Chains A and B, each alone.
Chain A
Amino acid sequence: MPRIRVRLTFPPELIQEPIVYRLVKDFDLVINIRRADVKADYGWIALELEGDEGALERGVRWLKGKGVQVDPIERDVIVP
C-alpha cells in the first residue's frame, strides 16, 4: 500500500474541525501521527498517510480544498 509522509499546517479557522477524523472516515486512509504542535490559533501535524493511490490523491486534494497546507515532510524541496 502506498505511503506518504506529509506535514499539514492548519490555519486558525480549521483548528476546531476534526480534519484527521474525516481523512480516516471519508477516504479510508490509515493515519500515523509522529509529531504535532497544535495551539489555540494555529497548528501543524507531521504524519504518515497510507492508502491506495487514488485515495491518497483524493485525500490530499480535499485537504487543500479545505485550506490545509500540505507539504512533503522535507517542506522546501524546491529551493531558489
Chain B
Amino acid sequence: MEKLNGLRCRECGRRYPATPVHVCEFCFGPLEVDYRYDTLKTVVTRASIAAGPPSMWRYKDLLPVEGDVAVGHHVGFTPLIRAQNLADELGCREVWVKNDSVCHPSWSFKDRVVSVAVTKAREFGYDTVACASTGNLANSVAAHAAEGRLKSYIFIPADLEQGKVLATLVYNPTLVAVHGTYDEVNRLCSEIADKYRWAFVNVNFRPYYSEGSKSYGFEIVEQLGWRTPGHIIVPCAGGSLITKIWKAIKEFKALGLITEPVTTKMHAAQAAGCGPIVTMIRNDTDVLVPVRPNTIAKSLAIGNPADGYYAYRTVKESGGFGAHATDEEIVEGMLLLARTEGIFTETAGGVTVAAAKKLIETGVIQRTDSIVICITGNGLKTPDALYDRLEAHVKIKPSLSAFDRALADLKSHAT
C-alpha cells in the first residue's frame, strides 16, 4: 500500500519526497509527513487495528514506517487506567491516567518516537543513529540502537552528573561529553547532524520521529472504547506531543473510526520555571518568548521549544487552556499520584497532575467532565526530586514490644 505522499512544509505547504530532510529549503519551516488518507480510509478499520499486536505497531498503517518494524516491537499500548482514587481526591467524576511510565523498553514515551526514527534509519540504509539529550531521549536512542545493532552517538553537556548517564551508558553507545554552554552544545549538534550521514533522531529524522507520538493519542481513543474524552492534559517540553495527540484524534475522526463529534479540549502543562508555551496560552499571544529553564522538571526544560507555536495553536483550536506548576506543586503532584493510584511518575508527571488540579480548581475543567492525564515517564529516573520530602515513618529496635509501642503510638496519632 502506497500510504505516504511524502513530506510537506508546515508553513508554506511545499512538498518534498519522503527522504531524511526536516527543514523546508525555501522558508526554513519544519516538514511533516503527509499521508494518503483516501487510501488509508479503505484499509484502516477498528477491526484491522484490533487485530494488530498489543503495541503501538497496531497503528502502523498510520505511522510513516513502510517496511518491517526494525526495533521496539513491544513499545506502547500502555495502560489507560480509570483513576477513581485520584478522581475522588480531585472531586471529579471521571479521571483516566495514560501511563507511559511503564512504556517498554526505557520507561518513557520517548520509546514511541525513537522506535519510529530508528526503524526509518534502517529503511533509509543508515548504520548510525544519534541524539543530544540529558535524559529520556538518550536512554531510548541507546536502547533501540543496541536492539537494532546500529552504532549510536549520544551527545551530552560535559557537566551532566554521572548518575544521569548510567541509564544510557549501559547500552554501550559512544557517549560524547561536550564542554560548553547549552547554546554551544545545541549549535554544535545541529552542525554535526548537517555534516555526517547519521540519523540524528530529532534533527534530520524529526518529521518521522515526531509521528511516533501519535500512537499515544490513538491508544487513548481506542482504550476509551473509540470515544474521545472531554479533556486531555499534556506535559509540554518541545511542544510536539500535544500537537501529535491532537493530530491522532483528527486522523481517527477523518478515517471514520470516531463516530461521535470530537469535543476534546487539549490543555498544556508546564513548570513555572520553564513555561513559555503556557505563557503564550495564558497571554493569548502567538509570540513565544524564550526562557532560561529553572525547574526541577528537567525532562520538560526546553526554553525555546521548536513546536511552541504549534502547541499554542492546538490548544486554541481545541478550546483548551494551560497551567504552570511550581516546583513545590510538582512534588505534590508526584506524591498525589503515587498515594492515590500507586503510580510513581517522574517530575513531568508531577507537572501534569498539578496542572490538572489547577485547571479543575479554577473551573476551566468541569468536575463532571471526563479527563485524561498524560503521564510520560517513570519516577525511578528522577528520585532526587523527592529526597528531601520522604523519610521512614517509624524507626524501632528489633523487638516485638518496641513495635507494639510504635504501632500504638501511630494509631493514637491517627485518631
Whole-angstrom distance between the alpha carbons of A48 and B24 in the complex? 13
Tell me if B202 and A77 are in contact (CB < 8 A): yes
Q: Which of B193, B287, B290 contacts A77 (CB 8 A)?
A: B193
**Chain B, range 179-195, C-beta contacts under 8 Å to A:** 182-183, 185-187, 189-191, 193
Tell me if B302 and A74 are in contact (CB < 8 A): no
Q: Given A9-B304, A69-B304, are A77 and B183 neighbors across the interface (CB < 8 Å)?
A: no
Quick one: CB contact mask for B125-139 with A, threshold 8 Å, 1 for yes? 000000111111100
Quick one: CB contact mask for A30-52 with B, threshold 8 Å, 1 for yes? 00001101010010001010000
Tell me if B23 and A72 are in contact (CB < 8 A): no
Tell me if B183 and A71 are in contact (CB < 8 A): yes
Distance in angstroms from A40 CB to nearest chain B CB is: 11
Chain B residues whose C-beta falls within 8 Å of the C-beta of A37 in the assembled complex: 287
Tell me if A74 and B23 are in contact (CB < 8 A): yes
A19 at the interface (CB under 8 A from B): no
Tell me if B191 and A34 are in contact (CB < 8 A): no
Tell me if B27 and A35 are in contact (CB < 8 A): yes
Q: Given A9-B290, A42-B289, are A78 and B189 neighbors across the interface (CB < 8 Å)?
A: yes
Chain A residues whose C-beta falls within 8 Å of the C-beta of B23 in the assembled complex: 5, 73-74
B384 at the interface (CB under 8 A from A): no
Tell me if A77 and B186 are in contact (CB < 8 A): yes
Whole-angstrom distance between the alpha carbons of A77 and B187 in the complex? 8
Chain A residues whose C-beta falls within 8 Å of the C-beta of B302 in the assembled complex: 76, 79-80
Whole-angstrom distance between the alpha carbons of A21 and B23 in the complex? 26
Look across to chain A and name the residue whose beta carbon is closest to the beta carbon of B178: A78
Chain B residues whose C-beta falls within 8 Å of the C-beta of A80 in the assembled complex: 133-137, 237, 298-302
Look across to chain A and name the residue whose beta carbon is closest to the beta carbon of B25: A34
Chain A residues whose C-beta falls within 8 Å of the C-beta of B191 in the assembled complex: 4, 72
A14 at the interface (CB under 8 A from B): no
Q: Which of A34, A35, A64, A69 contacts B290 (CB 8 A)?
A: A69
Distance in angstroms from B283 CB to nearest chain A CB is: 12
Chain B residues whose C-beta falls within 8 Å of the C-beta of A72 in the assembled complex: 186-187, 189-191
Chain B residues whose C-beta falls within 8 Å of the C-beta of A5 in the assembled complex: 23, 28
Chain A residues whose C-beta falls within 8 Å of the C-beta of B196 in the assembled complex: none
Q: Which of A7, A42, A78, A79 contacts B157 (CB 8 A)?
A: A78
A24 at the interface (CB under 8 A from B): no
Distance in angstroms from A47 CB to nearest chain B CB is: 8
Quick one: CB contact mask for B289-309 with A, threshold 8 Å, 1 for yes? 110000000111110111000
Tell me if B27 and A34 are in contact (CB < 8 A): yes
Chain A: how many interface residues by the 8 Å CB criterion? 24
A25 at the interface (CB under 8 A from B): no
A55 at the interface (CB under 8 A from B): no
Look across to chain A and name the residue whose beta carbon is closest to the beta carbon of B11: A35
Whole-angstrom distance between the alpha carbons of A72 and B187 in the complex? 6
**Chain B, range 205-219, C-beta contacts under 8 Å to A:** 206
Q: Which of B11, B28, B133 contacts A78 (CB 8 A)?
A: B133
Whole-angstrom distance between the alpha carbons of A79 and B137 in the complex? 7
Whole-angstrom distance between the alpha carbons of A74 and B185 in the complex? 13
Whole-angstrom distance between the alpha carbons of A80 and B132 in the complex? 8
Tell me if B186 and A71 are in contact (CB < 8 A): yes
Tell me if A78 and B136 are in contact (CB < 8 A): no
B29 at the interface (CB under 8 A from A): yes
Whole-angstrom distance between the alpha carbons of A48 and B191 in the complex? 13
Whole-angstrom distance between the alpha carbons of A64 and B290 in the complex? 14
Chain A residues whose C-beta falls within 8 Å of the C-beta of B136 in the assembled complex: 80
Tell me if B28 and A73 are in contact (CB < 8 A): yes
Look across to chain B and name the residue whose beta carbon is closest to the beta carbon of A60: B187
Distance in angstroms from B159 CB to nearest chain A CB is: 13
Distance in angstroms from A75 CB to nearest chain B CB is: 4
Tell me if B189 and A77 are in contact (CB < 8 A): yes
Distance in angstroms from B296 CB to nearest chain A CB is: 12
Chain B residues whose C-beta falls within 8 Å of the C-beta of A77 in the assembled complex: 132, 186-187, 189-190, 193, 202-203
CB-defined A-B contacts under 8 Å, sample of 24: A9-B290, A34-B28, A35-B11, A35-B29, A42-B287, A70-B187, A71-B187, A72-B190, A73-B23, A74-B22, A74-B193, A74-B203, A75-B305, A75-B306, A76-B202, A76-B237, A77-B190, A78-B132, A79-B131, A79-B132, A79-B237, A80-B136, A80-B237, A80-B298
Known: A72-B186, A77-B132, A80-B301. 17 other contacts (CB 8 A): A7-B28, A34-B27, A37-B287, A39-B287, A69-B290, A69-B304, A73-B190, A74-B190, A74-B306, A75-B304, A76-B237, A76-B302, A78-B155, A79-B134, A79-B238, A80-B133, A80-B134
